Amino acid sequence: MEDVDFLTKYRAVSSKLKKRFLRKPNVAEASEQFGSLSKDLLEHDNPHYAGFCCLAMARCEQTLSNSPGEAHALVEAARLFLEAECTNQTLKCPGFEEHLIAAMNCYNFAIKVHIEQIQPAMAACLCLELGNALRGLNKPDQAMSYYQRAADLQYQNPLDCLESLGLVASCKIQTRDYDGALTIFTEMAYLAQERGGSASGPASRPIGAFCDILARCEVTRVLLLMLLQPTPQRIRPEHAQTLERYAWESHSEDSAPVNCLSEEVFLLLQSTVMACQSRDVSALKSLQKDLWPHLTAEQNHLLHLVIQEMEHPSGEGI
């Protein structure tokens, strides 16, 4: 579709929204025509122009006080602008990321509409969708703020909240903010223990998926502490308590995080802590082979960084 043809049709539909003497504009009809024009433009591979039509459609739905229709049109516009931005980046076209900015604005407005309609779950889904898109475009620093917002909106659903917090922590690791990631994983561990406990258990131990999340937090926190190597004067009490669990003489059967780990993983982690404290690089490399199948890709990356830091104590590893 030619640009001139698109503009002519767009102006023709827009003119129907102008107020005339003793005549009320047919907003519903204009909204439908903007939607039809958007589909035509998308068929001709013009997602950014289609996005503008969806934006016009959203304004019409707002005029009609149709909040669900407005939110739907805003999300469609956001996805179309995002598609245009991804195409530009794939083709390595020079630009100012104007399509990405437009997409973020549309998502933000749609999130606001859902929050006003008391639909936190829908708002959280859009936060996660935008966060995933930003992370896919190699912008983890911007993505983490949307993941955090999703976690805040999902507080009444602990599993969803923990999932979003895990994405925040992953973004912090990706941006090399290891101290920030450690803080998030500590928050996740407390939340998993608090909200995932079994009422019948002796120490309200987490059950099911909460136990898996707690195991992930425990392993990752240990690796982050080994990477950061905080001094006794600067280490926080909760982190010192985490490391104490892996001292040979202080293994407790009633420790909930340790109970979420298999005995093999616990012993391997215990050996890893001891090897780090004694700065035994060869032992660490040997333990890496045994730990590798038990860890996630993110945790294996952290273990690799721990070994690098041991080989380059000046900080070059981090």
pLDDT at residue 268 is higher than 90: yes
pLDDT tens digit sequence for 238-266: 999 888 888 765 555 555 567 789 999 99
The DSSP code for 23 is B
Q: What does the pLDDT read at residue 207?
A: 80
The mean pLDDT value for 284-298 works out to 96
Indicate whether 31 belongs to any domain.
Answer: yes
CATH of the domain at 12: 1.25.40
Domain count, the chain: 1
pTM: 0.91
Supply 144's token pair.
């983490």
Indicate whether 206 belongs to any domain.
Answer: no
Indicate whether 64 belongs to any domain.
Answer: yes
Which of the four pLDDT bands, split at 50, 70 and 90, describes residue 316?
A: very low
Indicate whether 109 belongs to any domain.
Answer: yes
What is the SS3 string spanning 288-306? Answer: HHHHHHHCCHHHHHHHHHH
Q: What does the pLDDT read at residue 202?
A: 46
Q: Provide CB contacts within 8 A for 198, sequence distance 6+.
A: 204, 205, 206, 207
Q: How far is CA 265 from the centre of its chain?
A: 27
CA distance 198 to 208: 10
Indicate whether 86 belongs to any domain.
Answer: yes
Indicate whether 188 belongs to any domain.
Answer: no
Q: Exposure string (b/e) for 233-242, b if CB count within 10 Å is 16 or more?
A: eebeeebeeb
Phi, psi of 23 (to 5 degrees): -140, 125
pLDDT tens digit sequence for 19-60: 776 678 899 999 999 999 999 999 999 999 999 999 999 999
The DSSP code for 182 is H
Domain limits at 47? 1-16+25-90+100-118
Identity at 2, one-letter amino acid code: E
Cβ burial of 93 (10 Å; 0-12, 13-18, 19+) is exposed
On average, the pLDDT of the chain sits at 90
CA distance 284 to 297: 17
Indicate whether 186 belongs to any domain.
Answer: no
Indicate whether 2 belongs to any domain.
Answer: yes
